[in-house]
Structure 1
């Protein structure tokens, strides 16, 4: 179907909900310098660009929050949030560790400069090869089950290199159906086995995995883990640290924009009348996020105590381990697609780009990635107005939509134009990537010196 003439639509502001991303000078500079268009031409397909300076700044802010609260803490970057090597390199350079869940992730972390003692192995039912590497390199293992603890003890006895370092993962009382962690009875047995193992195992404390982004439940459960540590110490175990996992929120948009979006959006604003449950959307605004959320968590008063979490940690002499992923990657990259075609449908366009929603992962969790994509027109002076369009992928799947919502673009999207999805480094880029249709995976480009008129770039060194 041919596209009708570019006649601007002039609906009321509430007709086409928007969710502008928070301003990001580094991303703006990549576009303004012409680098995004140059990379699209050079690479011949969709690509991700990475902004490692943002990662470094986010890490430093979290470390500062720990220091200002008087808490001995250690940040482990959750590598699953993005496969790029540059973030592992920046973590190592910034004195951080890495949270890994596979032998390949562990090897890559070691290969990019992270010491074994600065690694944390998480995840359920870990592969024996992963456990063997962890024990050999002095990596802490968050033990999720009794049989896993037995495997670790056996590996430590066989290797006789060093004690196996373990945290015991606790099943959150508020999430009794979670598949992660051990209940009270299992923890009692695990502590007994750690004591029986003697010097073979160093039981360093406890950890948990908690869904959602609320801070108070994390503070409450952290206080419970402190009590568990004190009880374990009374039995003769070291128990000098706890891990809170991740879950620090990221704020993609300001409060007013998020509130307005949720109030105005409805099925008519989505291609094919697609519906989403509001509760399934990621909370794209948070009043406290990143390092500020960490500071608020440390200042929170756990249930049944008048003291802050920071005070409880300091008094008990307990080290706090954090495993943020998305929060360290806030504004650390974006994803660019090229428009391949556009057709008119019932007063809006369906735009097709040269990639798939497998490179923009939110859709594959029954949700939608809501921050507005930026249209970078090839035509320097296109018609101006309001041109709603949904964004589909270059596949034969009806459901393969990058954006179901009809985005009110200021110019008509046309073949050759670029669409930039902002702030995608945290999970969006590659957690579901696939070579479906034999399409190549979008490369990752590291962009340095965004404070200069002409940023410099290089390909990421991820081991493939």
Structure 2
């Protein structure tokens, strides 16, 4: 009788990415030319993701704007694709604004979100970009900075919806009276476009409640003599990481059993991943719960727009927007780069620890491949060096360790099973790292340099790789 297969977390991958990884020598050639570790982005996958969202919107509403949330990834290639596709861009800093302008975005296609100080506001006023206002101070400063004859287009971000956790961003719904007062008083300087929200949650019910609140506020704005024309539903549309929901559930079950002392140990240093043990049972929700999602952004968006609202006679959100001549704006980031990026690292050495665990040391740090408070919860891919796949001793459970002289620099605090034990010179590929993983941390401790970012394109069946900064969209 054959032994049971070890628990695994197979990653969902785009066919283009899978084909590149399967191309003999392609990954090794890329790092041989540009260095390892490296981040690889796939602009053609980004373009497909964008088109999927555009199709859902076009089928439901007459007016809409997609603004790519630049902060999700600093890739020039992604910005170039967004610009060529004619959509907007959401920037959250002066540097991101420069990036958008440098890639050809006209000011009218740029939206600025996030916290803004005096210096950034002074630059934005009169530039033609839309400012997504976070608080009353910003709104008042915009009015004060606007010169004669200047009208500044703004959205007002709101928060504090019923049943939604408190957010540090936006104006609480209960305090919108002060905002409306400024908008009415300063209508000669401020062009109020509408209300916006962005939730740090993918829960559909929370998003629906936010839409209902914004529609109510829109009616109040009409009553005050304002003419909002936009309903901005933000971003936060989920990614799909796992290729097999059942396998994911089986891994979580094995992890819970392991925490109870049953079966093979599966975590490093007593890490419980958010679970807690009480009365001989495992309780709680794991910190990596986002990896369990199997509903893609396209479906989330369609379901939201097709939701009927009881307060509006059961009419759908899309229909209500159309009847009130409201354009739907959104700022997807993760949804557009889903499956459009991977990170490649080289195996430096393999060692055994005092407790018998196998550590595979890589030439990158944890903060290079994932935000420090998260964990990559899909299986990495082993790409052997050369043509020799190495000894096939069967699946082996390992922990992936980083290059920093810090105990905490464990890239995986959970055990991962690879088809064989890696050897120096092999490559390890982390799937789907395009959303924040590449740029949010990127530690430079010990004077390590930031990994190069490369753009991978397939044309006529042939893959080409270039530095991301050198990428130019075809036809541009």
Change (3 A) 1:29 1:184: closer
CA offsets 1:186-241 (integer angstroms, 9 cap, x no match): 31111111111132110111111212101222122112212211221222212111
The answer to whether the aligner puts 1:272 opposite 2:273 as a matched pair is no
User: What displacement does 1:264 show?
Assistant: 2.0
Distance of 1:297 and 1:451 partners within structure 2: 38
The answer to whether the aligner puts 1:391 opposite 2:381 as a matched pair is no
Change (3 A) 1:264 1:301: farther
Residue in 2 that maps onto 1:7: none
Change (3 A) 1:82 1:181: same
Residue in 1 that maps onto 2:308: 301
CA offsets 1:114-165 (integer angstroms, 9 cap, x no match): 11111111113x12232223223211111111111111111213xx463111
Change (3 A) 1:340 1:451: farther
The answer to whether the aligner puts 1:180 opposite 2:169 as a matched pair is yes
User: What displacement does 1:36 show?
Assistant: 0.8
CA offsets 1:230-284 (integer angstroms, 9 cap, x no match): 2212222121112111111111113222222222224421223322014421422
User: What displacement does 1:462 show?
Assistant: 8.2
Residue in 2 that maps onto 1:373: 380
Residue in 2 that maps onto 1:12: 4
Distance of 1:439 and 1:409 partners within structure 2: 27
Give the secondary-structure state (helix, strand or coil) at the position aligned to 1:402: coil
CA offsets 1:274-326 (integer angstroms, 9 cap, x no match): 22014421422434212121111111223544121111111111111111111
Residue in 2 that maps onto 1:350: 359
Query: Does the Cα contact within 8 Å between 1:138 and 1:162 map onto a contact in 2?
Result: no
Change (3 A) 1:391 1:161: farther
User: What displacement does 1:30 show?
Assistant: 2.0
Query: Does the Cα contact within 8 Å between 2:309 and 2:315 map onto a contact in 1?
Result: yes
Give the secondary-structure state (helix, strand or coil) at the position aligned to 1:310: helix
Residue in 2 that maps onto 1:206: 195
5 Å-filtered alignment, 1:36-435, equals: 36-124=27-115, 126-157=116-147, 160=148, 162-173=150-161, 174-175=163-164, 177-184=166-173, 186-253=175-242, 254-266=244-256, 267=259, 268-277=265-274, 278-302=285-309, 304-305=311-312, 306-345=314-353, 346-362=355-371, 364-365=372-373, 367-378=374-385, 380-384=388-392, 385-435=394-444
User: What displacement does 1:185 show?
Assistant: 5.1
CA offsets 1:63-108 (integer angstroms, 9 cap, x no match): 1100111352111111111011111111111111111111111111
User: What displacement does 1:432 show?
Assistant: 0.6
Any gaps of 5 or more consecutive residues in structure 2?
260-264, 275-284, 472-476
Give the secondary-structure state (helix, strand or coil) at the position aligned to 2:241: coil
Give the secondary-structure state (helix, strand or coil) at the position aligned to 1:62: helix
User: What displacement does 1:413 show?
Assistant: 0.7
- Structure 1 vs Structure 2 CA RMSD: 1.9
Any gaps of 5 or more consecutive residues in structure 1?
1-9
Distance of 2:460 and 2:240 partners within structure 1: 23
Distance of 1:356 and 1:198 partners within structure 2: 51
Distance of 1:297 and 1:153 partners within structure 2: 34
Change (3 A) 1:27 1:122: same
Greater Cα offset, 327-336 or 307-316: 307-316
Query: Does the Cα contact within 8 Å between 2:194 and 2:231 map onto a contact in 1?
Result: yes
Query: Does the Cα contact within 8 Å between 1:81 and 1:325 map onto a contact in 2?
Result: yes
Query: Does the Cα contact within 8 Å between 1:170 and 1:181 map onto a contact in 2?
Result: yes
Distance of 1:132 and 1:352 partners within structure 2: 48
Which of the numbers 30, 44, 57 marks the counterpart of 2:20?
30
Distance of 1:71 and 1:146 partners within structure 2: 31
Distance of 1:76 and 1:270 partners within structure 2: 40
Greater Cα offset, 344-353 or 246-255: 344-353
Distance of 2:42 and 2:64 partners within structure 1: 25
